[in-house]
Amino acid sequence: MYLADLFDPTDLAPAAPGSALNPAIAGLTADSRAVKPGFLFAALAGSRADGASFIGEAVARGAVAVLCERTAARPNVAIAVVPHVNPRRALARAAARFYPRHPAHLAAVTGTNGKTSVACFTRQLWQSMGRRAGTIGTLGAQWRDRVEPLATTTPDPVQLHALLDRMVGDGVDYVAIEASSHALDQHRVDGATVKSAAFTNLSHDHLDYHPSLAAYFACKTRLFAEVLDSGGTAVLNADVPEAEPLGAVCAKRGVKTLTYGRAGRDIALVDASPSARGQRLALEVDGARHDVALPLVGDFQAANALCALGLALASGGQAAALAEALAGLSVVPGRLEHAATHANGAPIYVDYAHTPDALAKVLIALRPHAKGRLSVVFGAGGDRDPTKRPRMGAVVARLADTAIVTDDNPRNEDPAAIRRAVLAACPRAREIADRREAIAAAVAALQPGDVLLIAGKGHEGGQIVADHVAPFDDREVAREAAARREAVA
């Protein structure tokens, strides 16, 4: 493939294939360390470093072309240079052309909370339809019997399109991806042919990156205003205020919308009641009634399941069969996952909730199952939005009976300072810095009828302190602590 094959004709001066201005391209990367002979190097400006500073290194490693900002000083290199008004978008579109195999149906999910669950539930519903399906997101890239970890929720565009190409090569034709606000802001998903897009909710998060909640929402809106195919379908949560402006964006483009929730037009949640193993839902889908035994706890999980139902419907699924398939959904790892049971019968749950809104939803979901006390072990991450820490503490103070504040990926910040910020709004909580000790103490204190939630890390397998990642899995630690109580009993 030649350089001219990767860009629009207006981006390049005409040149013969194989010439210095139109070289053969062996690969793409925005990391100068990953450049190999024949590569295109994208010199992108980042928050910590400017890729233009590494052009010399990329050329030394064998780069034959450079993509850079149109306004940047033209690099003094004897290779093809592609100056572009939006090099991030140009890289994403070039990656889509370099890796040409695309899924028959690509669904993208955005929102503060629920992206992982919706993507995984959608994959399960597609599989119930007989589709070969995969997901790309927080839990990694999953398809067939493969699971590949990812460094970010939504990978960079080169990795994203390489993964999609491989999935299609392995026979996968339906893929659901999580579209984070960072990814949408950085145009990582541009170039992908997104046939359906879903919005779950918006709450306080990532304000260390976005200057305001409005700017945060604007990034989410890009999925519907620019990325979603004009002939695609938007699946919107009718129970959140953002549904109206998103619906207006879609209407302006002529994009079909499908709404779900208690106020849903297409998928209406008529009634929900807790059951021993989850909840019973009464749904109306396009006017037809469906009663579903959903094996998931909490209103927010019901909303996630209905969002997935919407995406499955948007891809050609039949309502009756999909409603029946909801009863077979499996819990997503680390999402209100039952990790262990105390010797006295008290259940212990692990959840990824690390925002005020997510914590509130999980605690509200668990309250009906607590005949005794509802207890929480939680903390807040370092090098992340500090304004949400007291908000998280306030949520726990309001909705839980007992709490322990501990460390949760302090990264490069002072863990004690993070805990103090949380405790300021949750003064009755105990403070136990060591997360293993905190979980053990919470498990030891459980009485019959109590319920324990360990929040923040969910599926994660490590605790990040400075630049070191120590192996740590809340679920394993909870099981170990419960086993010790059983041995004592």
All structural domains of the chain with their residue ranges: 3-97, 99-328, 337-488
Rounded to two decimals, the pTM is 0.87
Name which of 66, 74, 3, 64 is nearest 30 in CA terms: 66
pLDDT confidence of 207, banded at 50, 70, 90? Answer: low
| Res 161 pLDDT > 90 | yes
Mean residue pLDDT of the chain comes to: 94
pLDDT at 211: 78
- pLDDT per position as a tens digit, 326-348: 999 999 999 899 999 999 999 99
3-97 in CATH: which number? 3.40.1390.10
d(CA 301, CA 299): 5
Q: Which CATH number fits domain 99-328: 3.40.1190.10, 3.30.450.20, 3.40.640.10, 3.40.50.1000?
A: 3.40.1190.10
- pLDDT per position as a tens digit, 72-111: 767 778 899 999 999 999 999 999 999 999 999 999 999 9
pLDDT at 321: 96
| Res 205 pLDDT > 80 | no
pLDDT at 10: 87
| CA 42 from centre of chain | 25
**245-260 average pLDDT score:** 97
- What backbone torsions phi and psi does residue 146 show, to the nearest 5 degrees? -105, 145
- pLDDT per position as a tens digit, 106-151: 999 999 999 999 999 999 999 999 999 999 999 999 999 999 999 9
| Amino acid found at 89 | R
**227-233 average pLDDT score:** 96
pLDDT confidence of 213, banded at 50, 70, 90? Answer: confident
Of 370 and 46, more confident = 370
For the beta carbon of residue 5, count every other beta carbon within 10 angstroms. Answer: 14
pLDDT at 11: 87
- Weakest-pLDDT range from 11-25, 70-84, 424-438: 70-84
pLDDT > 90 fraction of the chain, expressed in percent and rounded? 84
| CA 466 from centre of chain | 24
Which CATH topology does 337-488 take?
Protein-Tyrosine Phosphatase; Chain A (3.90.190)
Tokens of 78: 């004897």
Location of structure tokens 């009976």:
401
